[in-house]
Each structure stands twice: as structure tokens, then as C-alpha cells.
Structure 1
Amino acid sequence: MNEFLIFDMDDTIFETKSIGEEPVKPILDKFEHLLIHRFGTELAKEIVAKLWKYPFDVIADTYKFDEYQNSEFARLVNENEYNLKVQPFEDFNLVKNLKQEKVLVTTGFSKLQNAKIQHLGLEKEFNKIYIDDILDPKRIFKKGIFKNILLDKNIKPEFVYIVGDNPHSELKAGFELGLNTIQVAKFGQKRSEYANYYISNFKELIPILAVK
């Protein structure tokens, strides 16, 4: 049986910081005004500064955002129009040439993730794309999506490879399900305990897939 590849997107296929501040600054400026009413000016600024660095759901959990704050942030994200200028990592061309079936599983707000997918031209590179929307009330997280893929494809875990950068998201989920986990460390990240393999360039992916 051929290997089945599940890719993450942010900081795996492209550098998230390359989006820049301009496309999302209007969202965070408006959200900061909303946060001031609950947290005060100083703490609101601190929270927004962290939103530039960390996923929204992590910050929301850390500061115990209520339903109103979560829904308002989602509304701002969904109302915003995104004119992104982003490119995949240069070595992503090697991934395009892989013969294995590939799917994309990415976490975030659906509208923003779809804008990234569109501007990166990923619709034609993957057999299917799944978005783990962080504010979906029926959210099953990446682990649930992986489980559904295994069931839908009727594929054994040893033939499935998770390719991503986040130790606390796709790598942990894949490892717990007995899948092969490949950590993409584009920025010299420390090797995760959940990584079966560790690469910094997609050319290192080829010999891993050739083993089985």
C-alpha cells in the first residue's frame, strides 16, 4: 500500500510571519478596543501583542475569553477582506512532485485559512483540504479529523505520515494515534518528543517515504 500524507500548512508549507501585519492589523486594533472594557488598557495591549505570536485559541484559553469575546473576534475575522501576498517555502516544489496521496489539515478561522490556501494555490496540490475551525461548536480538533480520515480511507496507521511543525497540535495528535510523525523544523525548532522523524528541508522527506 502507498503512503498517505497529511500536511499542516502554517510554518510547514509557508512562513506564517510572511503574511505581515497589514492584512490582520485592522482586526487586532478593533479587538483591542473590545478587550479594554474587560481587561483594561495595559493588559489589553499585552494580550494583542501575544495574538501576533500565538494561536487565538491558546490566548483565549490563557486569558479565559468568554463567549462574547470569542464570537466578536470570529466576526471581525470573517468580515475582513484578505489580500495576501504569500508564497510557499521554496522546497515545497519537491512536495508537489510526490506521487503519494496528500491531504491538508490546517487549524484556524475558516475565512482566513481559506484565503491563505487560495493565495498559496494549494487547492490543486492536495486531494482534499480540511479546516479545523477553532470556534466551531462541534470542533473535533486535528486528532478527530485524523481519526475520520483513517476510517474513511480504511488505511492502517503505519502507512500514514503526518508532516507538520507544531508539537502540541498535529504531531502530538498523530503520535497518539500511532501515525508516523515528521516534524518540519524550518526555524531550528527543538525536536519534539512526538516526532518520529525530524527534517528541515522537504528533500529529507523523500528517503523517509522510501523506507517502506
Structure 2
Amino acid sequence: MIKAIIFDLDNCLSAADDPGAELLEPVFDAIRQANQGTLPDDVLGAALGDCWYHALDFVAKKHDFSDEMLAAGQAVISQTRVSTPMRGYGDLHVLAELRGDPLPMLFLVTSGFRQLQDSKIKALSMEQPFEQWFTGIYIDAVDDPNRTSKQDIFQAILNAHQFCPAEALVVGDNPDSELAAGDRLGIPTVQILRPGVAPPILRLITSAPCTNSKHSLQPRPRKPALEKRYPQPRHRQPWHSRQRQPRIDPLKRTLNCSVPRQRLQIAVEQAARQNGVNFF
């Protein structure tokens, strides 16, 4: 039985640019000014784009930022706050449906600068009872001198509530962060790929990959172009292109269909079934 579901925040429950693209523009300006020719403009542009999906220190290491570039970015982002309401993704209300009484418990674990991440949580709670949906909310603060890690936080949650790893789920988007931490602890993990989020690795269920071709993670092969064998007038479309093709959304790849159900609920429930556990 699933007793705990641990969620990531950015690009999982809420888009990182939900407050607006201008949120990180002062950070980007500071990094550009400190660049001083260290990186070409195209490389720097790609690196700044990665900041919407990865922590600044991760981006700096990946793209070989100078110490001055990283320090300039950190100095600004550590003072950045969200002051306007955030709504999160459209299926955020499913959290209220997933939360049980008393089980399963929902937890939120997010990484980033403490002031920024805390302000995002407060902004998501301005127009909805966001914080009330969670039994516990934890910030893996990169600016905390005594910072631990997401893995340590996950382990603390299991220990505090006496859950074994198989009784929990980790739901997130980043295979190098929360999903890797869950894997190392033996917790089943679910990768959610929101629209516009480029998948580093296409995987939804890491601990029990789906092998049934009917539920393949890959899109179904396209039908052959029949008009090549049977030429048709140009003003007519071949029959197969006129048919409504199933929409393969990344969040629905485990079902490989276009049934209009809640995306978040599909991912979590499918993970539970794939791992051979009862959700309720």
C-alpha cells in the first residue's frame, strides 16, 4: 500500500516560470555581465535556459561557468522572491483527491534558494489551500551552510513515519535530482514531463519499466503513406491523415491514449500498479 507520496515542485506541480519569465532576468543580467568572454553568446544563452530546469550550481558546473559568473548569479538569486499569486499546473487540485485520511500522506520536497522557494510556496497558497494539502513541506536550501540533500530528507520522512521504501512514491521531473535520490533509497519513482519540459531521459516508471507493447513509452509507429502506392488527387487528403490521431502526451505515455483524465492522477496510479501495490 502506498502510504506516502513525495512531490517535487518546479516543473512538477508548478512551472518554474509561472511567476513570469522576468523572474530570473536580473540573475541572467548579472551572469552576462560577469561572463567577460568566458562563454560564447550561444553557449551562454543555452546555459541560462537550463536555469529554468536545473539548480544554478548544476548549470554552472555543466556549462563551465567561471567562479565570478556563479557568484554573481547566486548573489542576485538569493535575494529573489515571488510576490504575485501562482496557480501551478491545471491539475494541481488532484492533490486534494490523492491525499488520504490518514493515508496516503503527501510531502513536498523542493531544492533551491530558501527565500525563493519559500516565496513560491506562499504564492501558490494565495488562491488555493496549497500548503494544507501536505503533511510536511521541506526545502533543500542550496544556500544553507548545513545543507543535507533530497536523499537525506526522503530518508528522514521514511524514518519519522516508519514507512519502508516500497510504501512511498517519489514524483518529479528531474532524473538527476529527486528521481535519482528515490532510486538510491529503493523508493518507486515517477517522472512527470510537463509540456515544454525537454526530457533528459524518457522514463516514467523507473523501478518497474513497462514492457507491454500496448502501453509502450514510445509513440505508435505512423501508418505508411498510402498515397505513395495509390496516388490521389491533390485536393483530397488520404484517409489516414483525415482520421483523428491519438494525442500522445508525455504524462499519458504509460496509457498511450487520449482519454481525458487527470494527468497527475494517471502518473501516480499507474506507478502504483506497475510496482504491484495497492494505491488505497
**TM-score using structure 2 length:** 0.64
Q: Structure 1 stretch 106-115 or stretch 136-145: which is displaced more?
A: 136-145
Distance in 1, Cα, partners of 2:42 & 2:115: 25
The equivalent of 1:176 in structure 2 is 184
CA-CA distance at 1:156 after TM superposition: 0.9
Distance in 2, Cα, partners of 1:178 & 1:2: 14
Q: Is the 8 A contact 1:133 1:139 kept in 2?
A: yes
The equivalent of 1:43 in structure 2 is 40
| Corresponding residue pairs, total | 209
- Pair 1:153 & 2:161 matched: yes
- What is the one-letter code of the residue matched to 2:264? F
In the superposition, relative to structure 1, how do residues 138 and 71 fare at CA in structure 2: closer, same or farther (>3 Å)? farther
- What is the one-letter code of the residue matched to 2:206? Y
The structure with the larger Rg is 2
CA-CA distance at 1:85 after TM superposition: 4.8
Structure 2 unaligned segments of length 5 or more: list them. 210-216, 218-250, 253-262
The equivalent of 2:264 in structure 1 is 202
- What is the one-letter code of the residue matched to 2:113? F
CA-CA distance at 1:134 after TM superposition: 2.6
Distance in 2, Cα, partners of 1:2 & 1:49: 39
**Aligned ranges 1:25-36 → 2 under 5 Å:** 25-36=25-36
The equivalent of 2:23 in structure 1 is 23
In the superposition, relative to structure 1, how do residues 34 and 68 fare at CA in structure 2: closer, same or farther (>3 Å)? closer
**TM-score using structure 1 length:** 0.82
Distance in 2, Cα, partners of 1:23 & 1:146: 29
CA-CA distance at 1:157 after TM superposition: 0.9
Distance in 2, Cα, partners of 1:81 & 1:170: 23
Residue number among 163, 166, 170 corresponding to 1:162 in the alignment: 170
Q: Is the 8 A contact 2:182 2:188 kept in 1?
A: yes
Residues 78-123 of structure 1 show CA distances to partners (whole Å, capped at 9, x for unaligned) of 3334334532212121112221211100111111111211111132
Structure showing greater relative contact order (alpha-carbon pairs closer than 8 Å, 6 or more residues apart)? 1
**RMSD between aligned alpha carbons?**
2.8
The equivalent of 1:120 in structure 2 is 124
Structure having the larger proportion of residues in helix:
1
CA-CA distance at 1:30 after TM superposition: 2.2
Q: Structure 1 stretch 57-66 or stretch 194-203: which is displaced more?
A: 194-203
Query: Sequence identity, in percent?
Result: 27
